[in-house]
């Protein structure tokens, strides 16, 4: 690669890092944070996996692939539906609508654990703290589409 091309790659890389850091700083300034910053722990996602297989997999599938009218919980269509919204939107939907015929049956902690598992299956990173059990704290965590 010629030196001018290497300089372009370096400048492009620096620009990407700068934009990423500005986005993180902006989200921290307004009190929000991204699931890309780690919003759940590995242990929480593991608890959620057990809950998912007990209460959700019979409809959404073992690989969260959905089936016909039942939406998938991983991939582009999941991110299209829930991306750039607070995690509280997904939580509110899940606790008031899922499982069909038994909404609310997993308890608050059960739902946030299942959401942690869903986030994990979508490739979002683990963090140092668990996803909080409902409330306003979930309003501050944005489910950003992976960039």
Encode the chain (147 residues) as per-residue pLDDT tens digits. Answer: 555 554 444 444 433 333 333 344 434 446 799 999 999 999 999 999 999 999 999 999 999 999 989 999 999 999 999 999 999 999 999 999 999 999 999 999 999 999 999 999 999 999 999 999 988 999 999 999 765
Q: What is the CA radius of gyration of the chain?
A: 18
Domain definitions of the chain by residue range:
1-30, 32-143
Helical packing angle, 107-121 and 42-55, nearest 10°: 100
Give the C-alpha separation, 114 to 9, whole Å: 41
Please tell me the predicted confidence (pLDDT) of residue 13. 42
Query: Among all chains, which residue has been given the structure tokens 């409902």?
Result: 134
Please tell me the predicted confidence (pLDDT) of residue 134. 82
Please tell me the predicted confidence (pLDDT) of residue 2. 52
Q: Which two tokens stand for residue 40?
A: 């759940």
Please tell me the predicted confidence (pLDDT) of residue 16. 38
Q: What is the pTM of this model?
A: 0.79
Please tell me the predicted confidence (pLDDT) of residue 22. 39
Please tell me the predicted confidence (pLDDT) of residue 68. 86
| CATH number of this structure's domain 32-143 | 1.10.760.10
Please tell me the predicted confidence (pLDDT) of residue 31. 79
Asked whether 113 and 51 are in contact (CB, 8 A), the reply is yes
């Amino acid at each position: 690669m010629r030196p001018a091309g290497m300089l372009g790659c370096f400048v492009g890389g620096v620009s990407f890092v700068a934009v990423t850091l500005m986005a993180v700083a902006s989200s921290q300034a307004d009190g929000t944070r991204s699931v890309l910053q780690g919003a759940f722990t590995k242990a929480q996602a593991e608890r959620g996996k057990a809950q998912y297989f007990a209460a959700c997999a019979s409809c959404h599938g073992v690989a969260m692939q959905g089936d016909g009218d039942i939406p998938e919980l991983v991939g582009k269509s999941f991110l299209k539906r829930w991306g750039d919204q607070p995690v509280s939107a997904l939580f509110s939907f899940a606790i008031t609508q899922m499982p069909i015929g038994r909404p609310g049956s997993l308890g608050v902690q059960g739902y946030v654990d299942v959401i942690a598992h869903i986030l994990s299956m979508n490739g979002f990173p683990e963090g140092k703290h668990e996803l909080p059990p409902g409330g306003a704290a979930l309003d501050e965590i944005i489910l950003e589409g992976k960039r």
